[in-house]
Amino acid sequence: MLGAMVKGDAKARVRRPRGPNAERRAATRAKIMEAAVRCLAEFGYAATSTPLVARLAKVSRGSLLHQFPTKVDLILAVAAYAADVRGQKVFDELRPYPDGPDRFLMGVEAVWASLHTPAAIALMEVTIAARSDPELAERYPTFADDMEERLRRARVRMASNLGVPERLEEIEAVAHLTRMALNGLAMESVFIGRESADAPRVLALLKDIRRRLVDELQTDGGKSVGKVDHKPS
């Protein structure tokens, strides 16, 4: 149903505590997280339930409820897990590029790639559901604030890596524009069941905006801003 947007498995990033009981608990949690991501991505928030997730995870409902007593407890844990998976995908996509202008430009492609994962779709489902589920709406802002703080720290590093920490406000604006535009584009792709025909043009425009900012920083005398590869994307 979701086509290419849900291909691939979300890989668990779970810290394994010491001791056999703790390891079993962590392994169970990892299976639950993966199953919940799949459930949200394939069936949506409304159809996601603790019995269905337990069945997909192949664990007892009691084991699931021991760790997540309510659906909202589970959903918030999955949201944090999905955000970590998305963040790791961005990091992996940018790994070949050293800190500097080229990494900044490739951030557009990296974010877009991260939105083509089941974890990203699961996170979209949770975000949309926070508007209509009263219990989730009450608790979601804490998660959202934590995620925004992590993104803010990433933007600070971005400005520092470009050698222009004093231009943080502009870097933040461009990064925020990228995030909002691509999130909206990805959401449209989920709704229509295929990638939007506008995607290539939107990505090219966002990269051009970043390229122009880098050129401006270099023109303004940002000696620490490295040269950027102007090959057409």
pLDDT level of residue 179 (50, 70, 90 thresholds):
very high
Residue 37 has pLDDT above 90, yes or no: yes
pTM for the model stands at: 0.83
Give the C-alpha separation, 31 to 44, whole Å: 18
3-219 belongs to which CATH class? mainly alpha
Fill in the amino acid letter for 165. Answer: P
Residue 90 has pLDDT above 80, yes or no: yes
pLDDT level of residue 218 (50, 70, 90 thresholds):
confident
Phi, psi of 11, deg, nearest 5: -85, 135
DSSP string, 121-147: HHHHHHHHHTTT-HHHHHHHHHHHHHH
Which two structure tokens, joined as six digits, stand for 211?
């390229």
Contact 28, 67 (CB under 8 A): yes
pLDDT level of residue 29 (50, 70, 90 thresholds):
very high
In the block, residue with structure tokens 């990638």: 195
Residue 53 has pLDDT above 90, yes or no: yes
Give the C-alpha separation, 120 to 118, whole Å: 5
Average pLDDT, the chain: 88
> For residue 52, what are the CA distances in angstroms to 37, 49, 56, 80, 227?
12, 5, 6, 20, 52
DSSP string, 162-191: TT-GGGHHHHHHHHHHHHHHHHHHHHHHHH
Residue 120 has pLDDT above 90, yes or no: yes
HEC-encoded secondary structure of 40-107: HHHHCCCCCCHHHHHHHHCCCHHHHHHHCCCHHHHHHHHHHHHHHHHHHHHHHHHCCCCCCHHHHHHH
Mean pLDDT value of segment 104-118: 95
pLDDT of the residue at 169: 94
pLDDT level of residue 229 (50, 70, 90 thresholds):
low
Residue 233 has pLDDT above 70, yes or no: no
Radius of gyration of the chain (CA): 20
Mean pLDDT value of segment 220-232: 52
